[in-house]
Amino acid sequence: MCADDADGRSRAVDRSISGPRRTTPPSALDWRGHCRLVVGSSRRTVPLGDVLLTLLGLLVLLVDLHVVVQWGPHPAYLAETVLTTLIVAAQPLRHLRVRMSFLLTYAALAGLAVLIWLSPVNLGVSPILVTAPTSLYAVTRWAPDRRWGTGGLLLALCGSVLNPVLLRASRTGAGPVTGGGTLLFSTACALVVTGAYLAAASSRRSAEERDSAVEAAARQAATEAAVAERLSIARELHDLVGHSLTVVKVQASTGLTLGGEEQMRHALTAIHQASSVSLESVREFVRLLRDPARGSQQAPPADLSALPRLVDQARATGLRLEAEIPGDDELRAWNNSWTAVERLTLSRVLAEGLANAVRHGGDRAHLTVTTTPGWCTLELSNTPAGQGAPSSERHGTGLTGLAERLRLASGTLEAGTQQVDGEERFVLRAAFPIHDGALQPGTAPTAPPAAPTDGARSAEEGR
């Protein structure tokens, strides 16, 4: 049997599954991952168990040669030596050439049984018979076709019944074991080979179950990765086009409602600008998806210098927006010191917040973007829309996507209605950690600023 089959099981579980079970050799049948090996060339590595069996066979062969030297070159002694040599030669191949080794071993053992039966001299019971159960174990455990193990068991059981001791005793009436001892010897042989077969079958079944578990886990991981990728693509597409399409929709509605030439020109100009920016963003995103190498090196666009343009687009819809955002110099400094994730988070939160205010809110809004050591906070409040707005217009996936994005950035998002200066407003508040160059090395960022609690509701309620 394999010298270290049990110790190698953990290594078999750790190997990844790179394809369907039958397109590559299953790791359950990869003996190199289950056996203690004697290091050799990559293709001629031999398990330690095979080496030990070969050494045992060489000792038996030396005994046979000693008998030939001591008692003379009797044909029976010479034939036994030749058969033993064949069995010994097959042992290093128990794993490298499992079926060939099995056939050679069992053919030689059958020849040895016939020789003992026909020999005029008593050859005794050779220790080389131990290779019968070990070869059966190897072919049952490692042969790709299970029928080899079943056929090997039948041959071994036949050999146990028609064993050399019984054959010799039936021919001469005497032998190394006689009477009830012959039956006991046959029973013991049958039990040994059956035990070897059951042990090999059990080990193979356990390894295949581990293979199936690893393969199922790999498929599950691949499915989860695909789902996560789809969610990421959906979130990016929503954030890229949501704000611009809101501007287009509001401006088109305004132009159609007012109908004046100047109003139409203003509306069409805003629509053209918003759609151009949105189209370029989508094109860049598609380029990143089509070129994995480029996509792995470049994050989605996240230029903070575009924040004032988002504010202007919101104002162009007719929203009276009071904005307190950093100036161009500070935004350029943030571009240089913040990570791509931090820049993208602020850009997407601001775009979605303004889109929500334009789409669902009233005509007035207030925006502030501030930083404290280690944190950035965005707060956007707007008057609620008229009571006649349909409920379907008040719910969407925007805040859900923002909540997911902020969780990925280790930030928080709160959204809900509350009283501001005696007036009911919808307040969106996002906070997330940032890389602040002003922090000293080893200094932890401060805790996120306290969130408002009066009348606020969770972002998960959606808007």
Residue 120 has pLDDT above 60, yes or no: yes
Choose one of 193, 219, 245: the last residue of a domain: 219
Pick from 26-35, 51-60, 216-225, 231-240: least confident: 231-240
Pick from 137-151, 219-233, 320-334: least confident: 219-233
- pLDDT level of residue 287 (50, 70, 90 thresholds): low
- Give the three-class secondary structure for 225: helix
Mean pLDDT of the chain: 76
Evaluate whether residue 2 is within a structural domain.
Answer: no
Pick from 206-210, 222-226, 307-311, 328-332: least confident: 222-226
Residues 167 and 250 in one domain: no
Residues 344 and 452 in one domain: yes
- CA-nearest of 205, 199, 190 to 158 is 190
Evaluate whether residue 3 is within a structural domain.
Answer: no
What is the rounded CA–CA span in Å between residue 416 and residue 11?
53
Evaluate whether residue 369 is within a structural domain.
Answer: yes
Residues 338 and 439 in one domain: yes
Residue 253 has pLDDT above 80, yes or no: no
Select the highest-mean-pLDDT range: 216-230, 265-279, 439-453. Answer: 216-230
Residue 380 has pLDDT above 90, yes or no: yes
Cβ proximity of 428 and 416 under 8 Å: no
Residue 461 has pLDDT above 50, yes or no: no
Residues 349 and 376 in one domain: yes
Residue 433 has pLDDT above 90, yes or no: yes
CA angle 75, 81, 85 (to 5 degrees): 145
Average the pLDDT over 151-172 and give the result. 75
Q: Would you state the pLDDT for residue 148?
A: 93
Q: Would you state the pLDDT for residue 440?
A: 45
Residues 236 and 205 in one domain: no
What is the rounded CA–CA span in Å between residue 315 and residue 223?
43
Contacts of 67 (CB under 8 A, 6+ apart): 77
- pLDDT level of residue 391 (50, 70, 90 thresholds): very low
Residue 230 has pLDDT above 60, yes or no: yes
- pLDDT level of residue 172 (50, 70, 90 thresholds): low
Residue 293 has pLDDT above 80, yes or no: no
State the residue for tokens 């009233």: 362
Evaluate whether residue 4 is within a structural domain.
Answer: no
Evaluate whether residue 381 is within a structural domain.
Answer: yes
Choose one of 190, 219, 248: the last residue of a domain: 219
Higher pLDDT, 90 or 166: 90
Q: Would you state the pLDDT for residue 155?
A: 92
Range of the domain at 120: 9-219
Q: Would you state the pLDDT for residue 375?
A: 93
CA atoms lying within 13 Å on the CB side of residue 349: 33
Q: Would you state the pLDDT for residue 435?
A: 77
Residues 382 and 275 in one domain: yes
Q: Record the pTM.
A: 0.49
Which tokens in the block code for residue 30? 């990869």
Residue 55 has pLDDT above 50, yes or no: yes
Higher pLDDT, 171 or 411: 411
Evaluate whether residue 1 is within a structural domain.
Answer: no
Average the pLDDT over 115-135 and give the result. 85
Q: Are strands 412-420 and 423-433 parallel, antiparallel or unpaired?
A: antiparallel
Average the pLDDT over 340-360 and give the result. 86
Residues 386 and 443 in one domain: yes
CA 37 to chain centre: 28
Average the pLDDT over 370-392 and give the result. 76
Choose one of 219, 248, 274: the last residue of a domain: 219
What is the rounded CA–CA span in Å between residue 269 and residue 371?
34
Give how many domains the chain has, as a whole number: 2
Residues 190 and 259 in one domain: no
What is the rounded CA–CA span in Å between residue 463 and residue 459?
8
- pLDDT level of residue 196 (50, 70, 90 thresholds): very high
Percentage of the chain modeled with pLDDT above 70: 65
Q: Would you state the pLDDT for residue 43?
A: 60
Residue 389 has pLDDT above 80, yes or no: no
What is the rounded CA–CA span in Å between residue 266 and residue 254?
10
Residues 339 and 269 in one domain: yes
Residues 137 and 254 in one domain: no
Q: Would you state the pLDDT for residue 83?
A: 92
Evaluate whether residue 443 is within a structural domain.
Answer: yes
Residues 308 and 204 in one domain: no
- pLDDT level of residue 452 (50, 70, 90 thresholds): very low
Residues 240 and 196 in one domain: no
Look up the CATH number of the domain holding residue 352: 3.30.565.10
Residue 439 has pLDDT above 50, yes or no: no
Evaluate whether residue 417 is within a structural domain.
Answer: yes
Q: Would you state the pLDDT for residue 438?
A: 45
Higher pLDDT, 38 or 207: 207
Q: Would you state the pLDDT for residue 62?
A: 92
